[in-house]
Amino acid sequence: MIRFISFEGGDGSGKSTQLELLAGYLSRQGISCLSTREPGGTNLGKMLRKVLLELRDEPISPETELFLYLADRAQHVQEVIEPAMAAGKLVLCDRFTDSTLAYQGYGRGVDLDALSRMNAIASRGVVPDLTFLLDCPVEVGLSRTQTRSSSHASRAAAKGKAEDRFEREGALFHEQVRRGFLELAQADLARIVVIDAARSIASIQQEIVMIVEQKLATRHSAK
Ligand code: ADP
Ligand code: TYD
């Protein structure tokens, strides 16, 4: 039975694009789903997102950053994710706990075991049934985000997608994050499916739909 799917990966790997395509596909199949994201899935979260991504000159320590992401998650799980799951919706979430492990853990160097415990508190033990890790070389993702912020400047700004604090980080930071995601996937093969995100949007979508269809078929036959 799948009730919660998360999309993870580096900046510009195509998470939002694939989440939107999957949501469209599922609603055409008559499956009721809810699309959401972190940070910023609640009104409080939108404020936290602004602080997290748009701070320029103000210093922010790794621990401060971590607690803001966890605050966003705690509110999001209680206000949006749990009620949607309880109402029988299939929740599709753009980033979740694995992003904290990859960015604050592998990227910023916060202790991974401590992060797992804090993730469990913030998410109230909610774990995705399935996670797509969209993996591509760092430079591919970053060049996509640059195209996104320059050529669609007004649309990007409207979505809060102008180049953010993380997109301005160096390549080494993003390489550590990528390695982190891949290690997390290796350690949880039953939940995390690695998708080669350097391919075309259509072929990635095909693979994702096929995997979700298989999971949904398992759900129906298990009933
Ligand atoms: P993310 O949510 O992972 O940051 P997006 O879905 O916003 O990534 O995609 C970033 C940019 O790259 C967008 O302009 C999108 O249209 C484009 N894009 C997404 N997936 C692909 C792909 N497979 N190939 C080429 N461009 C892509
Ligand atoms: P997002 O808007 O998904 O960025 P993008 O669309 O470019 O992939 O997420 C904003 C940033 O927040 C992203 O760079 C990753 C970071 N992040 C963390 O560092 N920790 C977290 O727990 C989460 C959820 C996101």
- pLDDT tens-digit series, residues 162-176: 577 887 888 999 999
Ligand 1 atom having least distance to the Cα of 200: 23
- In the sheet that 192-196 helps form, which strands lie side by side, from edge to edge? 33-37, 90-94, 4-9, 130-135, 192-196
| pLDDT tens-digit series, residues 27-63 | 999 999 999 999 999 999 999 999 999 888 889 999 9
Give the residue, 73 or 158, on which the prediction is more confident: 73
Among the bound ligands, name the one nearest to the CA of residue 206.
1
Among the bound ligands, name the one nearest to the CA of residue 16.
1
The per-type count for the chain, helices as H runs and strands as E runs, is 10, 5
Instruction: Inform me whether the pLDDT recorded for 102 exceeds 80.
Output: yes
Q: Is the CB of 67 under 6 A from ligand 2?
A: no
Q: What is the mean pLDDT of residues 2-19?
A: 97
Instruction: Inform me whether the pLDDT recorded for 183 exceeds 90.
Output: yes
Which residue of 73, 99, 101, 152 sits with most ligand 2 atoms within 8 Å of its CB, as the best mutation to test the pocket?
99
Q: What is the mean pLDDT of residues 198-223?
A: 87
CA distance 27 to 126: 24
Q: Taking a C-beta distance cutoff of 8 angstroms, is the pair 14, 204 a contact?
A: yes
Q: What is the mean pLDDT of residues 69-94?
A: 98
| pLDDT tens-digit series, residues 119-134 | 999 999 999 999 999 9
Q: Which residue, among 168, 110, 116, has the nearest Cα to 142 in the 3D structure?
A: 168
Per-domain residue ranges of the chain = 4-222
Q: Is the CB of 174 under 6 A from ligand 1?
A: no
Q: What is the mean pLDDT of residues 4-15?
A: 98
pLDDT at 160: 47
Q: What is the mean pLDDT of residues 144-152?
A: 73
pLDDT at 221: 55
Residue 12 CA to ligand 1 centre (angstroms) = 5
From residue 205, how far is each of 20, 29, 178, 211, 214 by CA, in Å? 10, 15, 21, 10, 14
Give the residue, 44 or 222, on which the prediction is more confident: 44
Instruction: Inform me whether the pLDDT recorded for 159 exceeds 60.
Output: no
Which residue of 8, 52, 166 sits with most ligand 2 atoms within 8 Å of its CB, as the best mutation to test the pocket?
166
Which residue of 6, 7, 8, 11 sits with most ligand 2 atoms within 8 Å of its CB, as the best mutation to test the pocket?
11
4-222 classified as CATH 3.40.50.300 = yes
Indicate the pLDDT class of residue 150, thresholds 50, 70 and 90: low
| Average pLDDT score over the chain | 92
Q: Taking a C-beta distance cutoff of 8 angstroms, is the pair 135, 197 a contact?
A: yes
Among the bound ligands, name the one nearest to the CA of residue 36.
2
